[in-house]
Amino acid sequence: MPIELIPRPVSVTEKTGGPFEIDDHTVLVATGRAEGAAWLLHDHLRAGTGLRTPVTDSADTNAITFGLAGDEPAPWTTAAEAYRIDVGHDAVHIEAAAPAGLIQAVHTLRQLMPADTLRAARVVRPPVQVPAVTIEDEPRFAWRGLMLDVARHFMPKSSVLRFIDLAAVHHLNVLHLHLTDDQGWRLPVPGWPKLTEISSWRTETVVGHAMDEKAYDGTPHGGYYTHDDLREIVAYAAARGVTVVPEVDLPGHVRSVLAAYPHLGNTGDHKPVATTFGIFSEVLAPTEEALRFCRDVFDTVAEIFPSDFVHIGGDECPRTEWLANETARARAAELGLSGPELLQSWFTRQFGRHLSTYDKTIVGWDEILDGGAPSDAVVMVWRDFDIAAQAIRKGHRVIVAPVQAAYLDYYPSDDPEEPLHIHGRITFEEIAGFEPVPEGADETAVLGVQAQLWTEYIRDSRRAEYNLFPRLVASADLAWSSADVRRAHPVAERLPAHVKRLDALGVNHRPLDGPHPWQQGGIGDNARFDPTGAERREVTDLPGM
Ligand code: TNX
């Protein structure tokens, strides 16, 4: 069987000589900081093969050894996740300069085994064969992300853990959790109890596409994670080489906050948590009290999430209220700003300053550039890929996450049988063909790439898997592999072999040969939005589940 890995490693050299066989007597050899990766492999082998391979500090033969060698690279460098695997008939040697590299090697080793070993319990009879091969590997980008929007539709903790597993299998190393938005707030903050009492629930949700707005479902929707839930998510991810980067979206997208604390807004109006989708004019007032709120939120975030990065949101922040409001205008003047349009930039600087006291670097959606952002802020480019080059020219590091290639909430094809998606279209092939470094730009300014799963029209994790897969496979391949490797080994050619793995993992992926017309579970399957935008039509004759 050919070795078809996702992502494709830098180099794969098949060797002569028998495969390595993992059996009842195989041991995992690791000490000190290498042990975490060994236990990760142990847990996966125990689940998928039933074998109980002990972790020991030495063995003569029939061993998988984990070794740390050389100077430890800095975190958030590609070298930190480089690794080497050498599989011979009698032993497997895994080596890396950092524990993070050993963990990536474990993810590769899992793909070298038969797909059925990825199941949650044993269906294959050991011994399990690993082909004799030498793999040398290093990611192209240090940040390989998946964003989950748990605000528009709350995902239970179990689903978040599942997506961490699925991300890790694909060598993704960042789970960006979009924790707050107009439609729901998922993070308890001490001193602000109404965030969980009021902001975390909405009374109902629009049915069908928000732009069609014909009906509401009358069903309350919401939820939040406790601090221990979040700590559990962080630890579960860390064991798999995944960093959880929290996002609190400020100063726009705050309808859920203002529903509980209207005095933080510009008008004092009492509006409920949003029940439909789109861009709302409500934003935080530029007051000391609103800043105190933000600081309390970020203090909580800093305490729970060890990540070096905190995402402060910053997208879609209309200036309407600030321009119309006399107090906001006066405050802008008092702050020495040339106009209220610059208040977002002022907020961003306050956030950056506060989070720097925790040694955290801020990440923001690309609108933080409007009016200027602190130079160390990382810009997450989404509105247009061209913004990446502009941000790099201004001296920022960027994460490339644009609507051209990274929005997995968009339709996966133009086929009218597709279930309701938000709009737009991004195919597997478009992602596979995307080059994330702007022409002429310094590649080191691109910290990474990231796929987004916004969940306006994705009600549950089953439907989320349909949106993510197989497109996330192409996204993960481009995040890890160099342009040359991707050209030489197109991801589409490796996809059929990889689908066996997705099937073993029980992933509800979109079939490779077209949409699954019964794939509902999105809100409002009675309404369709034409991905071409040319015309909208209703589809009322879809078969039920
Ligand atoms: C834009 S991307 C948004 C989100 C929506 C998304 C839908 C970004 C930073 N803001 O609020 O969910 O489009 O595709």
- Tell how far the Cα of 426 is from the centroid of ligand 1, in angstroms: 15
Over 240-256, what HEC string results?
A: CCCEEEEECCCCCCCHH
- Tell how far the Cα of 452 is from the centroid of ligand 1, in angstroms: 9
SS percent in the chain: helix, strand, coil, step 5: 35, 20, 50
- Tell how far the Cα of 314 is from the centroid of ligand 1, in angstroms: 11
289 is catalytic: no
Choosing from 150, 182, 316 the residue with most ligand 1 atoms within 8 A of its CB, the one to mutate for a pocket test is 316
454 lines ligand 1 (CB under 6 A): yes
At 517 the pLDDT is: 67
Can you tell me whether residue 344 is helix, strand or coil?
Answer: helix
CB count within 10 Å of CB 140 equals 22
Q: Measuring CA to CA, which residue among 439, 469, 440 is closest to residue 453?
A: 469
**97, 201, 299, 468 from 198: Cα distances, Å:** 48, 6, 21, 31
Instruction: Judge contact between 84 and 95, C-beta under 8 A.
Output: yes
Tens digits of residue pLDDT in 275-313:
999 999 999 999 999 999 999 999 999 999 999 999 999
| Single-letter residue type at 12 | V
Give the helix ranges, DSSP H, for 404-512. Answer: 428-432, 461-468, 471-480, 483-488, 491-504
Instruction: Judge contact between 529 and 207, C-beta under 8 A.
Output: no
383 lines ligand 1 (CB under 6 A): no
At 300 the pLDDT is: 98
Instruction: Judge contact between 434 and 481, C-beta under 8 A.
Output: no
- Tell how far the Cα of 51 is from the centroid of ligand 1, in angstroms: 45
365 lines ligand 1 (CB under 6 A): yes
316 is catalytic: yes
Separation between Cα atoms, residue 49 and residue 381, nearest integer Å: 42
Nearest CA to ligand 1 atom 2: 382
143 lines ligand 1 (CB under 6 A): no
**155, 219, 253, 255, 284 from 280: Cα distances, Å:** 23, 22, 7, 8, 12
Instruction: Judge contact between 411 and 424, C-beta under 8 A.
Output: yes
At 516 the pLDDT is: 81
Query: Within the chain, which residues score under 50 in pLDDT?
Result: 522-545
Tens digits of residue pLDDT in 315-335:
999 999 999 999 999 999 999
DSSP code of residue 284: B
Which atom of ligand 1 lies at the shortest distance from residue 407's CA?
14
Separation between Cα atoms, residue 348 and residue 252, nearest integer Å: 11
Instruction: Judge contact between 509 and 499, C-beta under 8 A.
Output: yes
At 520 the pLDDT is: 60
pTM exceeds 0.85, yes or no: yes
Nearest CA to ligand 1 atom 9: 315
181 is catalytic: yes
Which atom of ligand 1 lies at the shortest distance from residue 152's CA?
12
